[in-house]
Amino acid sequence: MEFAIAIVAGLVGAILAYLAQIYFSLQSENTLTLSDHIIEISTIEAYALDYWATDNGKEIKNDEILASKLEGAMSASSCFHEEAKRILGFRYSDYVELDQEIYEATTGGSFRTSEKSIEYQRIIEIMTLCNRMRSLLRKSRREQYWAR
């Protein structure tokens, strides 16, 4: 009888270890996805700052390259939206709001127009929004393992 109890306890332990391994593997994948998106936000910020810190009248070709890089980075980062609701949970609505604000700040105003000039206030706004987004993603990344 003691032998049967030991076998059952061993099987239960093995099953629990297997389930824990699957769970933490999924959580690890979520944290990697969040880390990748943090890098994407930093790339968007860098391209946006480069774009808005140049004067359109001086180098039109360079401006078009910067605008294309920025639009490409924004488009590429939208792939995260498929996973965002599942990974972010209750922070998802804050994420969507910030994402929209970043999009409007980076591609709004005189974006891709001949009237575009250096906009210092827009630069500050973009930096602030991107930092808020990275903060939200970092909080969500910590919470994947129940760390507050």
What percentage of residues in the chain have a pLDDT greater than 70?
Answer: 96
Is 90 exceeded by the pLDDT of residue 102?
Answer: yes
Amino acid 5: pLDDT: 87
Residue pointed to by tokens 């909080």: 139
* Domain containing residue 12: 2-143
Query: Which DSSP state fits 147?
Result: -
Amino acid 8: pLDDT: 85
**Region 59-86 average pLDDT:** 89
Q: Has residue 148 been placed in a domain?
A: no
What percentage of residues in the chain have a pLDDT greater than 90?
Answer: 55
Mean confidence (pLDDT) of the chain: 90
Q: Has residue 132 been placed in a domain?
A: yes
Sign of the Cα pseudo-torsion (26, 31, 32, 33, in order): positive
Q: Has residue 52 been placed in a domain?
A: yes
Amino acid 118: pLDDT: 87
Most confident segment among 25-34, 110-119, 124-133: 124-133
Amino acid 23: pLDDT: 86
**Region 111-137 average pLDDT:** 93
Number of domains into which the chain is organized: 1
Q: Has residue 6 been placed in a domain?
A: yes
Q: Has residue 21 been placed in a domain?
A: yes
Q: Has residue 14 been placed in a domain?
A: yes
Degrees (nearest 5) of the Cα angle 54, 59, 63? Answer: 60
Q: Has residue 57 been placed in a domain?
A: yes
Is 60 exceeded by the pLDDT of residue 147?
Answer: no
Distance from C-alpha of 71 to C-alpha of 93, rounded to nearest angstrom: 23
Write the pLDDT tens digit of every residue in 4-19.
888 888 888 889 888 8
